[in-house]
Amino acid sequence: MPLRFLYNILINIAWFGLKVIALFNAKIKLFVQGRKNTFPLLEEKLNKTDKTIWMHVASLGEFEQGLPILERLRSKYPEHKLVLSFFSPSGYEVKKNTSVADVVVYLPMDSNSKVKHFLNIVNPRLAIFVKYEVWPNYLYHLKKRNVPTILVSAIFSGRQIYFKSFGGFMRRSLKKFDHYFVQDEKSKKLLESIGIKNSSVGGDTRLDRVSEILQRNNQLDFMDRFKNNQLCLVAGSTWPEDEKILIDHINNTTEKIKFVIAPHEIKASHIDKITLALKKTTVRYSELGDQNLKEIDILIIDTIGLLTKIYSYANIAYVGGGFATGLHNTMEPAVFGIPIIIGPQFGGFKEAEDLVNAGGIIPVSSQDSFDNLMGDLLNNPISIKKIGDINADYINSNKGASELIMKHISNIL
């Protein structure tokens, strides 16, 4: 039995299973129900005469990597319509109203019939996949239609199926891209080991994205009032494992420093739990009012969308997820040239690995190691500046991937 035929059977079984799970799981329900709107949305927004460029991303992280390309495409090719697809609800539901694309949809499942329907409507002049997204049927039919297809900000590991003896089917699918823009030399060499020569080392497009943050207005009136020219630690995207260490430190430190905590989970019950555990003066963003913030020790951010600007006020940043769930974005604080503290699990996050090795990001594994590190930093302002400069220099010296990709695209369109 040909593997592609078997793959199609498995995809259809998986789709049926997801529809059953959706009856009991809210996130999977979004995944299933949202896809019912994909074809109607496309048919409403696109005409057969439109010239389109299609970008597919998995979720929010990949969207951030694709965003510098989308913005440049919008500027350089205004006569083209941009179609953006997401695989995950956690990406689509947050960015479905973004103005950077003309149409934003869930990606239909990778079955033959849905792929053909999708491509018939979109009819892309160019297809761009971001980082890890390799869908055999989409790539098969794009190749069959002679649609130029590129993979951007890709990063590969020898653990992936493409490089295993049993990975022939996925390896053949991977080879259908016309060009690969990879983040590092290691990825390029891995591709070469399976006969793929048409790759370029361009780095991570997210570095272009975060470098642009410095050009924006990052001023926040409430942060000016809260910080009041004092030292400030901003803890972003924290999880309970991170918060336990932060709360213990905050409650026991005698250092004169302000704290901002921006939890990943902002449900009222979780915010209540954090607030009750803190023993110093605390205020939530949603309850700021006209309070005298100079006298407040801790600010809890119980909303989304402000963290990047808040990082601009930090002297030290803590980025959550490194104890259990997966490290969050360390590049957003890094661009502001400040030391970054993370949990011990950062393997597989290239920029974190690079900056841990360089000394700009410092991992901690326990309460004691966090407390000791904070003491060392706060007692050595020169060290704070020196460590922060490592992070700013890394961003500055590694940006430019988007321009390399756009130069390639200009030879296609």
Tell me the fold of 213-395. Rossmann fold (3.40.50)
Of 43, 44, 62, 64, catalytic: 62
Give dist(CA 234, CA 262) in Å, integer: 8
Report helix angle 3-21 to 26-34, nearest 10: 120
Mean pLDDT of the chain: 94
Contact 93, 33 (CB under 8 A): no
Q: Is 21-209+399-410's fold the same as 213-395's?
A: yes
pLDDT of residue 133: 92
Read off the pLDDT band of 50 (50, 70, 90): very high
Read off the pLDDT band of 378 (50, 70, 90): very high
- Does residue 1 carry a pLDDT above 80? no
pTM: 0.82
pLDDT of residue 349: 87
Q: Among residues 177, 210, 135, 173, which one has the least CA distance to residue 408?
A: 177
Read off the pLDDT band of 4 (50, 70, 90): confident
Order of strands, sheet of 179-182, starting from the edge strand that comes earlier in the sequence: 103-106, 80-86, 51-57, 124-130, 149-154, 179-182, 199-201
Read off the pLDDT band of 348 (50, 70, 90): confident
Give dist(CA 281, CA 99) in Å, integer: 40
Tell me the fold of 21-209+399-410. Rossmann fold (3.40.50)
Give dist(CA 335, CA 396) in Å, integer: 8
- Does residue 146 carry a pLDDT above 60? yes
Mean per-residue pLDDT, 357-368:
97
List pLDDT tens digits, range 313-345.
999 999 999 998 889 999 999 999 999 999 999
| Share above pLDDT 90 across residues of the chain, in percent, rounded to a whole number | 85
62 is catalytic: yes
List pLDDT tens digits, range 207-262.
998 898 998 999 999 999 999 999 999 999 999 999 999 999 999 999 999 999 99
Three-state secondary-structure class, residue 182: strand
Please enumerate, as own/partner, the contacts of 184-191 that have beta carbons within 8 Å and a separation of 24 or more. 184/155, 184/350, 186/156, 187/154, 187/155, 187/156, 190/156, 190/157, 190/158, 190/163, 191/156
In the chain, domain spans: 21-209+399-410, 213-395
pLDDT of residue 291: 82
Read off the pLDDT band of 22 (50, 70, 90): confident
Read off the pLDDT band of 60 (50, 70, 90): confident
Give the H or E element holding residue 408.
helix 401-410
